[in-house]
Structure 1
Amino acid sequence: MSYVARKGPKVASALGKWAYNLAGFNQYGLHRDDCLYENDDVKEAIRRLPEKLKDERNFRITRALHLSMTKTILPKEQWTKYEEDTKYLEPYLDEVVRERDEKVKWESNK
């Protein structure tokens, strides 16, 4: 039993890497957070990003659009790697969602 438990995280990690590569966005140099559907919360989180992160995001998206239009992908060494993909938008998005929930709760108590 303990053998299976020790192998569990490695299997999950391998499955995660496989699914990450299967999604295909990494072949365009995109990060996971670049592909989020832009609802109001995501738009506000993007607005709050530091200028450097916003510029890097815009560059990745512009490059991906160009590659898609020309029906090409990046060379494999330039693909975004599973280990290097950072969830750069997540802290800002969590903050926006917390603020929205707090606002709804506050307004319901009036």
Structure 2
Amino acid sequence: LLKVANSHRTLRKRFADLFSTRKMSYVARKGPAVYSALSKWAYNMAGFNQYGLHRDDCLYENEDVKEAIRRLPEKLKDERNFRITRALHLSMTKTILPKEQWTKYEEDTKYLEPYLEEVCRERDEKLKWESNK
């Protein structure tokens, strides 16, 4: 019984040490840096940046995404179409862009997000309106 009590105290002490304020503050300080590094690694491993594509160029085109693309300004729509056409050509020829032309993690913008959010809000509002009839 004494052995069990001592092992229990030892486990409690180790658990307390593991989750001490000092260690948790270390995690809080280092967490975002680790997350950012992991995000960059995952972004580069996805491979679409090697073709000059952005994240929003690779979205599955459901009804909401199609409507958001339709609402894009002509300049953004033309840039998107150019990137996709170039990526298709590179894929057919089994080549990638030179490394200096790859889309960088820091430069990739979510250009479609505001339009997509607007479409989703309108769809939700329409569903609420129709359910109240």
Q: Measure, in 1, the Cα distance between the counterparts of 2:93 and 2:42.
A: 25
TM-score scaled by structure 1? 0.98
Counting matched residue pairs gives 110
- How far apart are 1:2 and its partner, in Å? 1.6
Q: Which moved more, 1:25-34 or 1:1-10?
A: 1-10
- How far apart are 1:6 and its partner, in Å? 0.7
- How far apart are 1:39 and its partner, in Å? 0.5
Q: Are 1:16 and 2:39 counterparts? A: yes
Q: Measure, in 2, the Cα distance between the counterparts of 1:16 and 1:4.
A: 17
1:12-51 aligned at under 5 Å gives the runs: 12-51=35-74
Q: Measure, in 2, the Cα distance between the counterparts of 1:4 and 1:106.
A: 46
TM-score scaled by structure 2? 0.82
Larger radius of gyration: 2
Q: Write the deviation string for residues 28-66 of structure 1: whole angstroms up to 9, x where unpaired.
A: 000000000000000000000000000000000000000
RMSD: 0.5
Q: Which has the higher contact order (CA 8 A, sep 6+)?
A: 1
Q: Measure, in 2, the Cα distance between the counterparts of 1:78 and 1:30.
A: 10
The unaligned stretches of length 5 or more in structure 2 are: 1-23
- How far apart are 1:77 and its partner, in Å? 0.6
1:1-110 aligned at under 5 Å gives the runs: 1-110=24-133
